[in-house]
Amino acid sequence: MQITAKMVKELRDKTGAGMMDCKKALTEAAGDFGKAVDYLRKKGITKAAARAGRATGEGIIATYVHAGDKLGVMVEINCETDFVARTDQFKAFGKDVAMHIAASAPLCVGREMVDSALLEKEREIYREQAAKEGKPEKILDKIVEGRIEKYYSEVVLLEQPFVKDSDKSVGSILKEIIGALGENIIIKRFARFRLGE
């Protein structure tokens, strides 16, 4: 199949990947748009893993204030160089993450940051619920762990479904931006403010 410039541009607009990466993905996928997106995502994840240990001393503080000025978010996103921090794509990612935090109210960035006492309390509640539902004792642990995984996807920023594309998690969007910009990028911390709370 002939890979046209229009196809490459469309894939680039959707994924934010480089033109050559998009052309290669479409070639590998024989013009299948869905497979090309999957190819780029896998490639982005590989790039993200390779960059994970690199220092991130630059970045931005992105903000979002919801209409009505009663809800606001500040989020620190770090990258390796000032050059990347000043790109429109990096800044747009920061704004998107801040807006996501405003909408989804995560408790923390990563699952390792979830308070262990809170996690134990949730485990007890889930165990009690499963027992009341008449689930057999031997599978209670599996049920509890399944519900804990669901809990993580509700309260951990990187595991929440992204508000602008619920088919992807915030973590997978982060990996895509790492792949597109070619630097290690981390969401360091955030604060969510609601008037009166």
Q: Could you give the angle at the alpha carbon of 148 between the alpha carbons of 108 and 156, nearest 5°? A: 15
CA 146 to chain centroid, in Å, comes to 20
Structure confidence at residue 63 (pLDDT): 96
- Angle between helical axes of 33-51 and 170-181 (0-180°, round to 10): 80
Tens digit of pLDDT for each residue in 76-99?
Answer: 999 988 999 999 999 999 999 999
- From CA 39, how far away is CA 194, in angstroms rounded? 40
Highest mean pLDDT: which of 22-26, 47-51, 109-113? 109-113
Ranked by mean pLDDT, which of 1-10, 95-104, 166-175 comes out on top?
Answer: 95-104
CATH of the domain at 35: 1.10.8.10
* Domain count across the chain: 3
User: Is the domain of 148 the same as that of 177?
Assistant: no
User: 176: Cβ–Cβ under 8 A, 6 or more apart, which residues?
Assistant: 15, 16, 17, 40, 41, 44, 168
pTM of the full structure: 0.69
Residues 62 and 86 in one domain: yes
Q: Do 31 and 89 reside in the same domain of the chain?
A: no
- Asked if residue 123 and residue 38 are part of one domain, the reply reads no
**Domain interval for residue 145:** 115-154
- Of all helices (H) and strands (E), which one includes residue 64? strand 58-65
Asked whether residue 166 falls in the same domain as residue 97, the answer is: yes
Q: The CATH number of the domain where 177 resides is what? A: 3.30.479.20
Our measurement of the distance from residue 108's CA atom to the centroid of its chain's CA atoms, rounded to an integer in Å, reads 13
Task: Give per-residue burial for 19-39: e unless 16+ CB within 10 Å, then b.
Answer: eebbbbbbeebeeeeeebbeb
pLDDT tens for 119-167 read 899 999 998 888 888 888 888 888 888 999 999 999 999 999 999 998 9
